[in-house]
Amino acid sequence: CQPCWREYLTTRIEQNMVVNCTCPISECRAQPTTAFICSILSSQEVIAKYEKALLRRYVECCSNLTWCTNPQGCDQILLKDGLGYGAACSKCSWISCFNCNFPEAHYPASCSHMSRMTCAKCNHGFCWRCLKPWRPNHKDYYNCSAMVSKAACQEKRFQDYNERCTFHHHAREFAIRLRNSISSIREMPKIRNLTFVIDACKVLEQARKVLAYSCVYSYYNQDTESMDIVEQQTESLELLTNAL
C-alpha cells in the first residue's frame, strides 16, 4: 500500500540507502523506478534528498566527473578534461586534484608524494603510509612515523623540509587573511580602487602554495640530476615571494 511504501522509501532515503533499493518483500528483488518513487513520496524535502542521492551516484559512476574538494564546502561538479591534474572550480575557485584524494591540487609534488587520504563516504582522514588516523597523530601534512623511521639519517632532512613546507602553508594563510581584509576595506566609501592589491595577494597565495609543495617534491627527488635546477628556481621564487 502507499503508506507502507512511503514510510519504507523515506527511511531508505534518510539513511542514504535508496539507490539500488529493492522491494520490501524479502523474496522480491525488483527495484522501484524513479517515476514510481516520486509518485509515492509527498514531501518535497524528501524528494530533494532522493534527487541528491541520484546525483551523487551518477558522479561516482562517471570517471570524468568529480566533486569540488574545497574543505570549506562546495557542491560544484568538476569535469576532468584530461588536460592536467586539476582545474579551478567555477563556483569557489578552489583547485582540486583529479588524480588523488588530496584535498587540493599540489603541483609540483606528485600524487604519490601526498600521504593524506579521506574517505568519500564518512570523511575519515588517515595516512595511506601508516594507515593511522590523520588526527591527532598527523598534526601537519607530512608528519608520518612510517616515513621518517625508514632511516635515522633521513630524520633531520625530513624535519628541514617539513618546517619549510609548514612555513609556506602558514604564509599562504596570512595572504588569504590579508586579501579578505583588503576586500572589506574596498567596501568603505572614499577608498581608492584596491583591485591591484587584491590581485597581488592572489599571486602571493599561489606562490606560497607552489613553494610549499616544492618542498615535498624536493624531499622525494633529492638524488635526481635535475634537482639543482629545481632548487635554484625554488630559491629564486622564494626571494621574489618574500619581497612581494
Amino acid at 42: S
pLDDT of residue 172: 92
Give yes or no for residue 101 having a pLDDT over 60: yes
Q: Is a pLDDT exceeding 50 seen at residue 157?
A: yes
What's this model's pTM, rounded to 2 decimal places?
A: 0.49
d(CA 220, CA 158): 10
25-51 mean pLDDT: 88
Higher pLDDT, 73 or 178: 178
Q: What angle do CA 117, 123, 125 make, to 5 degrees?
A: 40
Nearest to 113 by CA among 80, 87, 141, 85: 141
Q: Label residue 203 by pLDDT band (50, 70, 90).
A: very high
Mean pLDDT across 156-173:
86
Confidence of residue 148 (pLDDT cuts 50, 70, 90): very low
DSSP 169: H
Place of cell 522480491: 28
Reported as a pLDDT band with limits 50, 70 and 90, residue 154 is: low
Report CA Rg, the chain. 24
Average pLDDT over residues 224-231: 76
Is the per-residue pLDDT at 21 higher than 80?
yes
What is the C-alpha separation between 28 and 197, in angstroms, rounded?
65
pLDDT value at position 152?
A: 52
Q: What is the mean pLDDT of the chain?
A: 79
Name which residue leads in pLDDT, 185 or 214. 214
C-alpha cell at 232: 635554484
Mean pLDDT of the 52-69 span: 83
Q: Among the listed ranges 44-58, 95-109, 157-171, which one has the minimum average pLDDT value?
A: 95-109
**For cell 502507499, what's the residue?**
2
Q: Does the structure show a pLDDT above 70 at 145?
A: no
pLDDT given for residue 146 in this prediction: 54
